[in-house]
Amino acid sequence: MNAGGFGLGVPVKEFTLVALTTAVVTLLLTGLVRLLAFKIGAVAVPRARDVHAKPMPRMGGVAMYGGVCAGMLLAHQLPVLRRAFDYALDPEAVLVGGGLIVLVGMLDDRFELDSLTKAAGQIAAAGVLVLFGVQWLMFWVPWGGTGHGSVLVLDQNMGGVLVILLTFALVNALNFVDGLDGLAAGIGLIAAVATGAFALVLLAKNGGDVSSYPPALIAATLAGACLGFLPHNFQPAKIFMGDSGSMLIGLMLAAAATSASGRVNYLTFGAGDAVGLLSPLIVVVAVLLIPLLDLIMAVIRRVRNGTSWAKPDKMHLHHRLLEVGHSQRRAVLLIYLWAGVLAFGAVALTVFDVFLVAGLMVVCLLIALLVSAIPRLRASRGRHSA
C-alpha cells in the first residue's frame, strides 16, 4: 500500500484513522465521564498549591482509556493493522495493564489513595506488561567493547525489572507534571506523535517489518486519546484527567518505547545503528526530560525538607513559570515548545544529518529559553527605568 511519501508497505492512512477514531471516542466519552465524576464525588477541591479556583471533576483518564480500547478494536478489524496483534501481545498488554492503572487512578481520583498503595498499583500494572512479554532482551550502552559501545544481554528477570523501573518513572513523571490545564495531555500527545513517527520511519526503512506495528499502534491510540481529551482540558479546563489519565499516559509511553526497542538483536548492528534503534526510548526520555528533572528535583527538595517524597507542593516547573509572570496558557505552550524541540529533534537525529539537526535544536532551544525569560527581562527593564 502506498502511503503518501513513506513508501510501499507503510499504512499511514490506517494508523491515522485509528488515531482519529480514538480521538473522537475520547472526545465524546469525556462529557459523560464529567457527569459521572460529579455524581460520585470525584472532584478536585481547590487547595493552596492548586491553580484552579473552583471544584473540578476528575477521572478524565477513564474517557481516554475508552478511546484507546475503541482504537485498538478498530485496528484489530483492519487486516493490515491486525499484524500488530499477530506479532506480539503488546497491544493486549497495554489494554490489560492500562485498565488496571486506570482503575487505580479512578480510586485515587475519588478517595485520594496514599502513596504506597498507589505505587503498588503502578508496579502491578507494569508487571502486567512484563507478563505479556513487553520487556527488554538486550540493551546497547556507549561504553566498553572495542570503542563502539557494548551490548548488555538481559535475562528474563533483569529485562522485566528494567520495564517496571521505566514504567514507574514515566508514570510518576507524568503524574507530577499534571499541574496546569492541558499540560500532561499535550506532553503525552507530543511524545506519542514523535514515537509513532519514528516507528513509521522504521517501517519505511525495513519494508513494512511487522515488529514495528505494535509500537506504532500504541503510539497512535495514545496520540488520539490525548488529542480527544485536550478540547475539554485546555485552559479553561472543564475536567481534569486525574491520576487515571496521567498514569495511563506514562504506562503507554513506556510500553511503546519498550515494544519498539526492547526485542532488537543489537549484536547484529553497529554503534550508530544501535543509537537509532534506541530512538523510541530516547524520544520518550527527551520529551519527558523536563518532567523527569522536575520529578527528581521535587523528590530531593521534599526529602531535604524532611517530608514524604510524594507529598505535593507548589514548587514545580509550571508553578515557577507562573511566578515569573507567564499566564497559564503561555506556561503550558512554553513547555510544549521545549518538549517538541527535544522530542522531534531526537527523531530527526536518526533521519537527517546529525550536525544540521543538532544546530537547529540549539537555535530552537535558545529561542525557547529567551521566550521563557521575557517576563523577567521586562520586569528587570522596568526596575531600571524606575
- pLDDT tens readout for residues 215-234: 999 999 999 999 999 999 98
3-state secondary structure of 350: coil
pLDDT (0 to 100) of residue 174: 85
H runs (alpha helix) in 58-144: 60-77, 83-87, 90-111, 115-131
Distance CA 276, CA 284 (A): 14
- Are 251 and 125 within 8 A, CB to CB? yes
Helix 354-385 and helix 328-349: axis angle, to 10°? 160
When pLDDT is cut at 50, 70 and 90, the band that residue 211 belongs to is: confident
- Are 204 and 319 within 8 A, CB to CB? no
User: 57-78 as b/e, with b when 16 or more CB fall inside 10 Å?
Assistant: bbbbbbbbbbbbbbbbebbeee
pLDDT (0 to 100) of residue 167: 94
pTM (global) more than 0.85: no
Does 373 or 160 have the greater pLDDT score? 160
Does 153 or 255 have the greater pLDDT score? 255
pLDDT (0 to 100) of residue 286: 66
Residue pointed to by grid coordinates 499511514: 12
Q: Which of 40-54, 61-75, 341-355 has the lowest mean pLDDT?
A: 40-54
Does 7 or 344 have the greater pLDDT score? 344
When pLDDT is cut at 50, 70 and 90, the band that residue 5 belongs to is: very low
91 φ/ψ sector (left φ>0, alpha ψ -120 to 50, else beta): alpha
56 strand-pairing partners: 44
**What average pLDDT score do residues 335-353 get?**
78
When pLDDT is cut at 50, 70 and 90, the band that residue 2 belongs to is: very low
Percent of the chain with pLDDT over 90: 38
Distance CA 68, CA 98 (A): 9
When pLDDT is cut at 50, 70 and 90, the band that residue 348 belongs to is: confident
**What average pLDDT score do residues 339-359 get?**
78
Distance CA 386, CA 380 (A): 10
Q: Among 185, 184, 245, 257, which Cα is nearest to 219's?
A: 257
Residue pointed to by grid coordinates 526510548: 281
Distance CA 225, CA 66 (A): 9
Distance CA 175, CA 171 (A): 6
CA angle 349, 350, 352 (to 5 degrees): 65
Distance CA 287, CA 173 (A): 11
Q: pLDDT digit string (tens) for 355-367?
A: 787 788 888 878 8
- Cell representation of residue 280: 523510541
When pLDDT is cut at 50, 70 and 90, the band that residue 1 belongs to is: very low
Residue 34, φ and ψ in degrees, nearest 5: -60, -45
Residue 215, φ and ψ in degrees, nearest 5: -65, -35
Model confidence at 39: pLDDT above 90? yes
When pLDDT is cut at 50, 70 and 90, the band that residue 307 belongs to is: low
User: 20-44 as b/e, with b when 16 or more CB fall inside 10 Å?
Assistant: bbbbbbbbebbeebbeebeeeebbb
Distance CA 291, CA 335 (A): 10
Distance CA 141, CA 123 (A): 26
Q: pLDDT digit string (tens) for 124-177?
A: 999 999 999 998 887 767 666 655 667 777 888 888 999 999 999 889 888 877
Of 3-17, 46-60, 78-92, 199-213, where does the model show the most confidence?
78-92
Question: Across all residues in the chain, what is the average pLDDT?
Answer: 81
